[in-house]
Amino acid sequence: MSDTILDVKGLNCPLPVLRANRALRSMAAGERLRVLATDRAAVADFQAFCRETGHALVAWSEESGVFSFVIRKRSEA
């Protein structure tokens, strides 16, 4: 299963998280969303977002100023 890619580079807080939340709503439980962002605040924002919503922040990394976040949608239990 491949990740769905959401490119929010150039957008600032809170737009990356809001766009990711919208994308996750249309995805099935267990599917993964890869978010590409350039806003440094996105690191803390996505950690808090996942903690508060129950989605799993599987991984995050930064390369050349672009942050990549992999989020697995929570089970609908």
What would the two tokens of residue 37 be? 């962002």
pLDDT for residue 76 is more than 90: no
Which residues does the annotation mark as catalytic?
13
Q: How confident is the model at residue 2 (pLDDT cuts 50, 70, 90)?
A: confident
Give domain status of residue 42, yes or no. Answer: yes
Q: At what angle do helices 42-53 and 15-25 cross, to 10 degrees?
A: 40
Q: How many structural domains is the chain composed of?
A: 1
Sign of CA dihedral 39, 40, 42, 45: negative
- Calculate what percentage of the chain has a pLDDT beyond 70: 97
pLDDT value for 53: 97
Task: Note the pLDDT tens digit of each residue in 35-44.
Answer: 999 999 999 9
The range of the structural domain enclosing residue 35 comes to 4-72
Here the CATH number for the domain that contains residue 49 is 3.30.110.40
Give domain status of residue 77, yes or no. Answer: no
What would the two tokens of residue 34 be? 């890869």
What would the two tokens of residue 52 be? 């508060």
pLDDT value for 70: 98
CA nearest 42: which of 25, 19, 26? 19
